[in-house]
Chains A and B, each alone.
Chain A
């Protein structure tokens, strides 16, 4: 069975600080996808990134970067120079590849609070 663990329940930082959100996953599949979604206070789920299990290159998008390490089954997310608008709950998720379902298995989320 697939499992995603986000050990950090809540993180508080002051604006402009860097922050890393941890994600550790378990799967028996050799091919899978990893995702990060953001849930702002308004409640919707906003897609941030998808990563293929064969692609371990780190990715940077503006202030966001992702570090995928298959050897430690981790897919961590770093926000550089955090801003108040980054305050949200962030979910890491895993899906299998193949089949018609490819459901997402979510972690429990990390609530990020950025203050001035």
Chain B
């Protein structure tokens, strides 16, 4: 069964460093998402991406964040200068079609900022 994959599973970085989280969505999916879950809290939407552009972003997704689909398979989230409060689990999700379809999530990347 096809699935969303994410690398790395755990990333430790120093405050102020740049990190890139990688995701490979399900191959025939067209809509891509990043969500964040601070430890013990709910899952929060960050950004959605369709047709090579951002379709919606939350207020969390400020200028420090960017997303890219550099080739036909990867979908990346970059945090330019990490802060302590960026420590969280980051989930990538993908969806095949429009609003009638289900989002499938990757296993997540745990980001720890020291």
Task: List the interface of chain A (C-beta within 8 A of B).
Answer: 33, 35, 37, 42-47, 50, 52, 91, 93, 95-109
* Interface pair B98/A98, CB less than 8 Å apart: yes
Among A44, A52, A101, point to the contact of B48 (Cβ < 8 A): A101
The chain B residue with its CB closest to the CB of A101 is: B56
* Interface pair A43/B108, CB less than 8 Å apart: yes
* Interface pair B35/A100, CB less than 8 Å apart: no
Which of B43, B89, B98 lies at the interface centre, i.e. has the most chain A CB atoms within 10 A of its CB?
A: B43
* Interface pair A45/B44, CB less than 8 Å apart: no
* Interface pair A45/B105, CB less than 8 Å apart: yes
* Interface pair A47/B104, CB less than 8 Å apart: yes
* Interface pair A95/B99, CB less than 8 Å apart: yes
Whole-angstrom distance between the alpha carbons of A78 and B77 in the complex? 36
Among A35, A96, A100, A108, point to the contact of B50 (Cβ < 8 A): A100
The chain A residue with its CB closest to the CB of B55 is: A100
Q: How far is the CB of B89 from chain A (nearest CB, A)?
A: 6
* Interface pair A104/B99, CB less than 8 Å apart: no
- The number of inter-chain residue pairs (CB within 8 angstroms) is 73
Can you list 16 residue pairs at the A/B interface with Cβ under 8 Å?
A35-B102, A44-B106, A44-B108, A47-B102, A95-B99, A95-B103, A97-B98, A97-B99, A100-B48, A100-B51, A101-B55, A102-B98, A103-B58, A104-B33, A104-B103, A106-B42
Residues on B with beta carbons closer than 8 Å to the beta carbon of A101: 48, 50, 55-56
Contact A104:B56 (CB < 8 A) given known A43-B89, A50-B102, A109-B42: no
Which of B35, B42, B106 lies at the interface centre, i.e. has the most chain A CB atoms within 10 A of its CB?
A: B42
Q: How far is the CB of A82 from chain B (nearest CB, A)?
A: 23
* Interface pair B31/A45, CB less than 8 Å apart: no
Q: How far is the CB of B41 from chain A (nearest CB, A)?
A: 7
Complex interface bits, B31-45 against A, C-beta within 8 A gives 1, otherwise 0: 101010000011111
Whole-angstrom distance between the alpha carbons of A84 and B96 in the complex? 33
Whole-angstrom distance between the alpha carbons of A104 and B91 in the complex? 12
Residues on B with beta carbons closer than 8 Å to the beta carbon of A42: 107
Q: How far is the CB of A27 from chain B (nearest CB, A)?
A: 13
